[in-house]
Amino acid sequence: DFAVDNFRSKTQLLLVWFGFLCFFARYLSSGFRPRGATVCSGSGFGCKIAQSVFNWVVLMLLLSLIGIVYFISVGSGNDVYRRSYLDIVVGVAGVVIFLILPHQIQFSTAVLSTTDDMESWYNDFFEVLFIILATLTLVCQCLNAARLSFSDEFIGSNKFLSRILAGSNARDEMKFKSAAVFKVNRMLENAYNLHQPPTHSRRRVHEGTHELALINFTKVTDKTELVGGFKWAWKSFLTGDLKTREGIWLHTRLIAGLMAQLLFSIIAIIFLSTIWHSVIGRYKDDTTYCSISFNPESCYAPEIDGTSLGIAACTDIMFEGDGCDGSKIDIVSNVELFNLTCQFIPPNP
């Protein structure tokens, strides 16, 4: 279903897919390094390679076995062709087993653990996330059950029911037909405009329709339309023009990948912001500065036989900043040059 879009609700399929990602991150992440399962206990390169291969094989088996059971059970009832209440019951049972019960039953095995051995915020985050996913998935199952309670003719005759019970595939097919109608209408409109005589001409035009079409086509050869690009694609996706006007079918796996990228970007931004805030907070109290300002008009630059010594004496110097209090400021590093200069500077320049 995920490969060929053979489903009724695209929203439910995305919820099932993200639910499995969250289930793996919370309960199956130990599959990368199974507890108590080691190939060898040495520290050599070959031993590390063997252990790494073993860990990835265990992860593959976990994703294959548990993933098949998860997607069949939780995704049940979302088929576009089957009409059975038993499928919906299986789907609800899958939601309860995989998304609700692990929070209530505490156990730990070599590859699966539901104990609260993580930090409190980590457990609270996944608990809230699983509650949201389970609630939305159960709502989709309720809509599937309501879909079976009415006939297709009755749903099609009621505008409200058709909006909430028609399903993603039915709505997408309707939008594709709208795109086909839009393209045909535009093609006919362009053909009609090409065969129209110029409206600004004062004399009667005796050219045939073929000549008019060639003349009008020559006039509009430089006419272009903006298509493609990041901004255009996102705008068309949000407004629905990709389906209703362009007739582009967005596969669910593509939307899932796009949502995963957006989710990962948000998490990465939050994570980097947290790290940056902690780094700034660590060095904020230890960072000091000292700003020195003076009035150039109160400075005196001594000279020897018309040659400046390169040093000036200034009064009314202001020190600002927490780094100036109680700190020793190295004004002159060359003591001999300082003593020589002081001989030529008046006491109060």
Query: Residues 100, 149: one domain?
Result: yes
Q: Tokens for 52, please give them.
A: 């790494």
What secondary structure letter does DSSP report for 61? Answer: H
Mark whether 142 and 235 lie in a shared domain.
no
Torsion of CA 51, 57, 60, 65, to 10 degrees: -120
Domain check: are 96 and 181 in the same one? no
Last residue of some domain: 124, 148, 166? 166
Residues 55 and 180 in one domain: no
Question: Residue 320 — φ and ψ, nearest 5°?
Answer: -130, 140
Residue 236 DSSP SS3: helix
Within a domain: residue 101?
yes
56-59 contacts: CB < 8 A, separation 24 or more?
56/32, 58/31, 58/34, 58/111, 59/31, 59/32
**pLDDT at residue 326 in the model:** 52
Q: Provide the 8-state DSSP code for 58.
A: H
Q: Is residue 3 part of a domain?
A: no
Residue with tokens 């001999």: 336
State the residue range of the domain holding 155.
10-166
Which pTM does this prediction carry? Answer: 0.60
CA angle 129-138-89, nearest 5°? 130
pLDDT digits (tens, 9 = 90+) for 252-264: 888 888 888 888 8
Same domain as 237, residue 89: no
Number of domains in the chain: 3
pLDDT in tens, 123-146: 788 888 889 999 999 998 888 888
Predicted pLDDT at 184: 92
Same domain (yes/no): 85, 150: yes
Boundary of a domain, candidates 141, 166, 191: 166
Q: Which of 159, 172, 160, 241 is nearest to 6 (CA)?
A: 172
The answer to whether residue 211 sits within a structural domain is yes
The reply to whether 160 and 30 lie within a common domain is: yes
| Ramachandran angles phi, psi of 79, nearest 5° | -75, 140
Please indicate, yes or no, if residue 5 is contained in any of the structural domains: no
Residue-level pLDDT at 334: 54
The predicted-structure confidence for 322-331, as pLDDT tens digits, reads as follows: 666 654 555 5
Reply yes or no on whether the pLDDT at 36 is more than 60. no
User: Of the candidates 65, 92, 87, which has an alpha carbon nearest to the alpha carbon of residue 76?
Assistant: 87
Q: What is the mean pLDDT of residues 239-252?
A: 83
**174 and 162 fall within a common domain:** no
Q: Please tell me the predicted confidence (pLDDT) of residue 136.
A: 92
Does position 31 have pLDDT exceeding 50, yes or no?
no
Q: How far apart are the C-alpha atoms of 287 and 285, rounded to whole Å?
A: 6
Alpha-carbon gap, residue 199 to 212, rounded angstroms: 12
Q: Tokens representing 42?
A: 């040495």
CA distance 6 to 158: 25
Q: Is residue 201 part of a domain?
A: yes
The conformation of residue 307, written as its DSSP 8-state character, comes to E
pLDDT at residue 114, as a whole number: 66
Looking at the fold, whether 316 and 189 belong to one and the same domain comes out as no
C-beta neighbour count of 237 within 10 angstroms? 15
Is 285 within a domain? Answer: no
Q: Are residues 147 and 44 in the same domain?
A: yes
Cβ 320 vs Cβ 291: under 8 Å: yes
Q: Is residue 270 part of a domain?
A: no
The DSSP bridge pattern shows strands 303-304 and 307-308 to be: antiparallel
